[in-house]
Amino acid sequence: MMNRARIATLCLVFGLIATSAWADFKKERALKLEPGGSFVLETDIGSVVLIGESASGARVLVTSDIDLDRDFDFVFEETARGAKVTIKRRGMRRLFSGWFGNHDTRVTIQVPTRTDVSLSTSGGSIRTSHVNGVVGVHTSGGGLDIDAIEGTVDGSTSGGGIRMRDIRGNVDASTSGGSITITDIRGSLRASTSGGGITIDAVSGELRASTSGGSVDVRGAGGRVEASSSGGGVTVRFAPGNSSGGVVSSSGGSVRTEIDPGARVSIDAHASGGSVSSDVPVTIQGKIDNDSLRGEMNGGGPLLRLRSSGGGVRLTGITRSASR
């Protein structure tokens, strides 16, 4: 699966390079960059594609349907630790950059696989893959697509959705304008959006997910979970054997939690917009109410707090052999 994904990404990169012959503007540079170094891109225009490969050195290709030399300054640097590329608008055009749009501008980059990467663009999407190192990506005008990373990932966008998969490290993902889809994280995860839903599948560490504009759907949570929504329902399925607890809440829909019946947790569930029900054995503490449930599973443990003001709360069981 990993090899097929890598081949597909390489085909994309080389396809972009091949089709650049028809672009109105083309600028290409080869920079010294040894494995273990860093690569930095700061650009005021364009979408970005970066892929790690086995060879040393960095290759940067900029293509566009407009003459970028007329309005932009390019700086290609070889630093003590690595390489840096800067693409900035000149003078007053930089102050009113939003008026000019991004046209069809692309920055395609190849770096050694073992590289720390920092990418920032004001004008498009960012796609990054097959990097072993710290990855930081930020865009004000597009989505993020990140996969096959061995290292910490920090990704943010003000103008699009986020898709991440196959990350071996801690992840921070935030957007003000789209949905978040994340799969297979070997580490902790923090995901937040103001403009869409969140879908998460398989996170080994602590998970925090929040949205103001959609639902939250979590599967295969391996650690403590804090999941909340102001605009939809929240569903959390803990991985078999997980007794870490957490907080699951919604003010815009129902709350559903699936947990290993053998988990040792304390339950505190309340619904102001519906009823509370449980399909797993809970030793009740206090009085029994239709809209609340307090008790312990298997003698108790970390607290699992469930809250809904927009629907009901349902607690169901999974089996230890359940697949994600």
Among candidates 244, 17, 52, which has minimal Cα distance to 131? 52
Residue 7 DSSP one-character state = H
Query: Which band of pLDDT confidence, cut at 50, 70 and 90, is reported for residue 93?
Result: low
Phi and psi at residue 161, in whole multiples of 5°?
Answer: -85, 170
Q: Which residues make beta-bridge pairs with 85?
A: 41, 76
Identify the residue whose tokens are 């998460």.
Answer: 200
**pLDDT for 191-226, tens place per residue?**
999 989 999 999 999 999 999 989 999 999 999 999
Average pLDDT over residues 178-186: 97
Average pLDDT over residues 175-179: 92
Residue 71 pLDDT greater than 60, yes or no: yes
Q: What is the pLDDT of residues 279-310, one digit of tens each?
A: 999 999 887 789 999 999 999 999 999 999 98
User: What is the C-alpha radius of gyration for the chain, rounded to an integer number of angstroms?
Assistant: 23
pTM for the whole thing?
Answer: 0.89
* Identity of residue 180: I
